[in-house]
Chains A and B, each alone.
Chain A
Amino acid sequence: MFNKETLDAVRLLLLFQADDHLIIGHRNSEWTGLGPILEEDIAFSSIAQDKIGHALGLYSILNENLGEADPDTLAFMRNETDFTSSHLVELPIGEYDFSLVRHLFFDLAAHIRFEDLATSAFDPVAKLARKVKGEIKYHVFHANTFIKQLGHGSEESKARLQSAINQNFGLALGMFESFEGEQLLIDQGIYKGEAAIREAWLGEVQAVLLEAGLKMPDASKVEPVLGGRKGFHTEYLQPLLDEMTEVFRVDPAAEW
C-alpha cells in the first residue's frame, strides 16, 4: 500500500531507532551490579533490558515487514559503519550524573516518538508503539523523578547535573538528525518528522528542568552533533560492538 520510496524512509526511521535503543540498552546494562544502591541497580537494569526489547521489536518489523535480515544478524553481524546510532548513546557510561542526564534526554525523545508512532499509518510500528507505552511511561517517570530529586539535592548534585546537561546538549540534539524521505512519512501520516519531535522534546526537557530547578540550555546556540545516522561514529562504538558480539561470534549458528 506504500510505494518503495516511502518504505525506504520507514526502513531508515526504524533502523535509527532500533540502533539507538540497542546501543543505549547495552550501555545502561553496564551499570548492572555497580548501581549506586541496590534498588536503583535493579530499576536501571530493568530499563536497560526494556530498551533491548524495544530494539528487538523494531528489528523484527524490519525483518518481517521490510525484508531485512533477522534481528540477531542486524544486531550482531553488521559492521560499525552500518550502524546508525546517534553519538549520544555511544558514549561510555561515565559517572552517574552523565548516565542519568542521558537517560532523561533519550527517554523523553523515545516517549514522544513512540507516542506519535502509536497512531502511525504504518500498522506494525503503531502496534509496537502501543504495546511498549507503559514501559516507556515508567522510564520517563524514573528519569524525571531522579532529576527532580537531585536538582533539589545538594549543591554538588545540582552542579553535576547542570554540567552534564550543558556538556551533552549538542549530543542530544544529534538524535534528531533529518533523513531522506522524511517528508513522505509526514505526508502519509506515518511519522511526524524529526523537526516536530525535536520541538516537542525541547518543551518537555524544559518543563522537567524547570521543575528540578535547573537551567535549560539555549538550543539555538548549541551545534547538534550529527553524523551517526550516516554511519560516522565516535571512537567508543567499535569497542562496544566488539564486547556486545563477543559471545555471539564464538558460534553464530548456536541455538539459544
Chain B
Amino acid sequence: MKIKSLDPRVSRLELDAVDKQPDAVLKPEEHWETYQVFHQRKRGEKHSSVGIVHAPSAEMALVFAKEQYGRRGETVNMWIVNTRDVLAMDYDDYDVFATTPDKMYRDPAGYKVNDKIAEFKKSNLHV
C-alpha cells in the first residue's frame, strides 16, 4: 500500500504506508485546507482575488497571506475566505452563458447611436 496524498509531490515518492490502515483518511491536521486571499491596494478600491494559501485556520491563513501576497507593492487590507465557503458554478454549466456574446443590445457599443452623435457633431461644425 503506497501513500496516496492529495499532494502530488508526496504521491510521487511512492512511499509505503506503514502505520496506516488501508484507505486511511487524512486527519484535519495532516492536510490543511486552502483559503482564498483577496488583496486591497488602496482604501475604497475593490478587494481582488490574488491566490490561495494553505492553512489550518482563517487566522493562520491571514498570517501567511500577509507575507505571501502583501510583501511587495502597496496593501491596505486583506480578506481571507475558506475555499469551502465559495459556491462555484460547474464548468459543465457554462452553456448558460453561450448565447451572451450574441446579445449586443445589452452592450452600449451595440447601439447605432454613435453614428448619430458623429453626424450631429459634424452638422454643428458649420454653426
Contact = CB atoms under 8 A, between A and B. Distances in A.
B60 A43 contact: no
Contacts of A38: 54
Contact of A43 (B32, B59, B64): B64
A145 B59 contact: yes
Contact of A39 (B29, B55, B57, B59): B55
Interface residues of A, number: 16
Interface stretch (A67-75, A146-154, A187-195): A146-154
B63 A42 contact: no
B57 A149 contact: yes
Contact of B67 (A42, A145, A146, A154): A42
Interface string B2-35: 0000000000000000000000000001001000
Interface of A is mostly: helix
A149 B60 contact: yes
B71 A46 contact: yes
A142 B29 contact: no
A39 B54 contact: yes
A138 B64 CA distance: 11
Interface in A102-146: 138, 141-142, 145-146
B67 A43 contact: yes
Contacts of B56: 149, 153
A39 B71 contact: no
A201 B60 CA distance: 24
A40 interface: yes
A153 B60 CA distance: 13
Contacts of A43: 63-64, 66-68
A37 interface: yes
A146 B68 CA distance: 16
